[in-house]
Structure 1
C-alpha cells in the first residue's frame, strides 16, 4: 500500500512538492483554500530566471528547475518560451557590471547595440547588453492552472479546492469544515499566510512579507514580439548574482545619489511576453507584515517611466494592474525549511524566486525523505 502525503497549498511551491512526492511513490493529496491558486504564483512575470542566482548551489538549482519546467510544460501543454534575456546598459557603471559579470560567467555574451535584434530595445545611448539564452517564460496564470490537471492525470494527485486547513497535528490535517484527513507525511506550503498554521514558528523566524506592484499590457498588434525578456540597470542592482561583482558598489552608489526613489520603493523593472503577445511589466518591493491593500499610482508611473528608457512597444495600453504578496527571508536565506513535528515539513520563504527555484528545491529537499 502506498504511503500517503498531504500538501497544503497549490501555489508553485506546493505543486512542485506534490510532483516530487508523487514521483517518490506517495499517494498525494493537495489542499487549497481557494477555488484556484490566487497568490504570488499567479501574480508574477512567469520568468524562470537562472541568471539572477549566484554561482554554485543556487544557480544549479535554478538550472534544474528550468529542466523540470520544460518537461512539465511540454507534458501539460503549457505555453513556454525559451527566449532568454537581455540586460541593457546605458550608464558606464552599468556597463562595468555587465562586462565584469560576463568575464566571470563565460556562458553569457556582451552584445553591441548593432547586434541586438529585438525591435523593442531602445538603442539611443545604449552602450551594450548582456545576452543569456537560459531564461524561460511561462504565463503563470495558465501554468498554475494546468499543472494540477497534469499532476492529477499523470500521477493521480487528488486536489481539494475551496478547502481551508485549520490545524495540522500529525498524522491528521483538520479542515475548517470539521473534517480530518490523515497522511504519513504532511508538507505545509502556505506562502504569505503566516497566521493560520504554525504561527508561533513564523513569529520566531526571520521572515517578512513583500508587496509588489505589476501591470499587464494588451497583446501586441500583428503578433509583434519583443524577443527576449528585457531588463534595465535596476535589475543589476536587484539580483544577487550581479552583486558578486566588484563594480556593483559604484552602480549602487550612482542610483543612491541620482534616483534614491527607485531604491526606496525597490524598483526592478523588467518585461516578459506571454504566448498571447501580452506584456507583463513591473515591479516594486515593499516589505513588512502590515502592507497596504491599496496600490500607489506613483509607483506604477515610476515603473512605466523607467521602462520607457530601455524598451518601446507597439501598444502601451494597460489591460490590468495588481499587486502580489510573497514571503521573504530577512537574514539573506533563500528559503526556510522547518520541521515542527515528526512527519511534518514546512517549506516557505522563497521570496521572488518561487517560479525559478521551486522545482529544483523540491528535488533537493524531498529526495531523501
Structure 2
C-alpha cells in the first residue's frame, strides 16, 4: 500500500513544522514555496523558543513539546543554539511585585527563580546596575538562529525523511486533492496551507470572515560583540511583563500597565516592548514594536527604532551598540484572543495560520503541527 501523500504550501516555520510532523509519521510530503528560500516572518524574529510567553495548561505543554522537537532538530541537523534561559528585569517596585507574583504562582510548574540584584548582575554582564531590584530567571527559554534554521531544516527534512521541496513555486489555486502553480499541477491526499497572510490570495472570502489582521513589527541587529562578550540569557525589560499572556495569567499587571501608560505612553501606543537575544556570531537582535492593520506602509520609522534603543539602554549596556541591520516583519494576527487559526477550507484542505498570536510561532509551531497531524487538535483546543 502506498504511503499517504501531502502537500504543504509555505516553507516558513509553520510549513516546516507540518511537513516534519507528516514525514515522521510516514507520509510522502511535498513542500511548495513561492520564493527561493523562506524570507518572511520566520526569519525576521529573535529566534527565541519562548515558553515563558504562554500561559499554563495546553499552551505551555505545546511549547514544551515544540522545544523538545527543536532539541531533536538541533542535534540531528547540527544547528547552533544557546539554552540560555531568560532574565526578566525589575528596576521599580511594581515590576518586582509582578515578578514575585509570577514566581509564587509558577514555582511548582516552571523552572523559574527570583534573583536579587547581585545574583542578577552575576548572570549577565550586560545589565545596568543602577536601580536594579532583581530579576526573574527562567530556564525553559532557548535561542536558535532563525536564518540558519530556516535555511538548514529543509535540507535536513529532505535528506532524513525524503521531503521534496519545490522553490519558486507560487501556488495559484487549491482544491481537494490538488494544487496548481500556474499550469503545473500537484496531486496529494491532503493539502496544508501554511503561507502566512498570503493565504488571503487563495481564500479571500475565508480570510475576510476570519478575525484576522496583520501585525507589523520593527527590529534591529547589533554588531558582533568583541572579546567573546555574551549576554548570558535573553534579556527582557519591564514592558514585556504587560505584553505576554504568561505574565498576565500569573500576576496582576493592571497597576504596572497603568504606570507604563502614564510614563511610557508613546511606547505603549507603538506596541513597544524591548528584548535582546544573541546569536552564535555574537550579534544581538533587539526589538520590537507592534502595529496592527490590514495594510501597512512599507517604510520603517527611524523614530521607532530610536525609542527601542533608548529603552534598551535603561537595562543593558553593550560593548558595541552599533546597529548593523534594520528590518520589519509582517505576520497574521488574530483579533479574538485565539492562539492560532486552523480551518478546513475544503475537504482535505487545512489552513494553519497566525500561530502564537504574540509572535510565538517559533515557540509553538512544532507542537501544534503534531496535534493537527495526529487529529488531537480539537481535543487540545477544548482543553485550553
Superposition TM-score, scaled by structure 2 size = 0.94
Paired residues of 1:210 and 1:328 also in contact (CA < 8 A): yes
Aligned residue number for residue 313 of structure 1 = 318
Question: CA–CA distance in 2 between the matches of 1:297 and 1:154?
Answer: 44
Q: SS in structure 1 opposite 2:196? A: coil
Question: CA–CA distance in 1 between the matches of 2:373 and 2:127?
Answer: 42
Paired residues of 1:267 and 1:303 also in contact (CA < 8 A): yes
Match 2:277 to one of 258, 265, 272: 272
Aligned-residue offset at 1:357 = 0.4
Aligned residue number for residue 145 of structure 1 = 151
Match 1:200 to one of 196, 205, 211: 205
Aligned-residue offset at 1:245 = 3.8
Paired residues of 1:93 and 1:247 also in contact (CA < 8 A): no
Which aligned pairs between 1:67-106 and structure 2 lie closer than 5 A? 67-106=68-107
> What CA deviation, in whole Å up to 9, does each residue of 1:330-363 have, x standing for no partner?
0000001100111110000113010000001011
Question: CA–CA distance in 2 between the matches of 1:339 and 1:8?
Answer: 14
> What CA deviation, in whole Å up to 9, does each residue of 1:122-181 have, x standing for no partner?
1110111000111010010000000001100000000000110000011110103x1100
- Root mean square deviation of aligned Cα: 0.9
Q: SS in structure 1 opposite 2:232? A: coil
Question: CA–CA distance in 2 between the matches of 1:94 and 1:348?
Answer: 33
Question: CA–CA distance in 2 between the matches of 1:194 and 1:264?
Answer: 29
Aligned-residue offset at 1:246 = 4.5
Match 1:210 to one of 204, 215, 218: 215
Aligned residue number for residue 113 of structure 1 = 117
Paired residues of 2:102 and 2:251 also in contact (CA < 8 A): no
Question: CA–CA distance in 1 between the matches of 2:46 and 2:242?
Answer: 18
Question: CA–CA distance in 2 between the matches of 1:244 and 1:338?
Answer: 27
Match 1:358 to one of 340, 365, 377: 365
Which aligned pairs between 1:243-322 and structure 2 lie closer than 5 A? 243-322=248-327
Aligned residue number for residue 29 of structure 1 = 30
Match 2:228 to one of 206, 223, 227: 223
Aligned residue number for residue 42 of structure 2 = 41
Question: CA–CA distance in 2 between the matches of 1:91 and 1:357?
Answer: 31
Aligned-residue offset at 1:205 = 0.1
Q: SS in structure 2 opposite 1:308? A: helix
Runs of 5+ consecutive residues of structure 2 not aligned to the other structure: 377-384
Runs of 5+ consecutive residues of structure 1 not aligned to the other structure: none
Residues paired across the two proteins, number: 368
Question: CA–CA distance in 2 between the matches of 1:196 and 1:71?
Answer: 35
Aligned residue number for residue 170 of structure 2 = 164
Which aligned pairs between 1:313-352 and structure 2 lie closer than 5 A? 313-350=318-355, 351=357, 352=359
Superposition TM-score, scaled by structure 1 size = 0.98
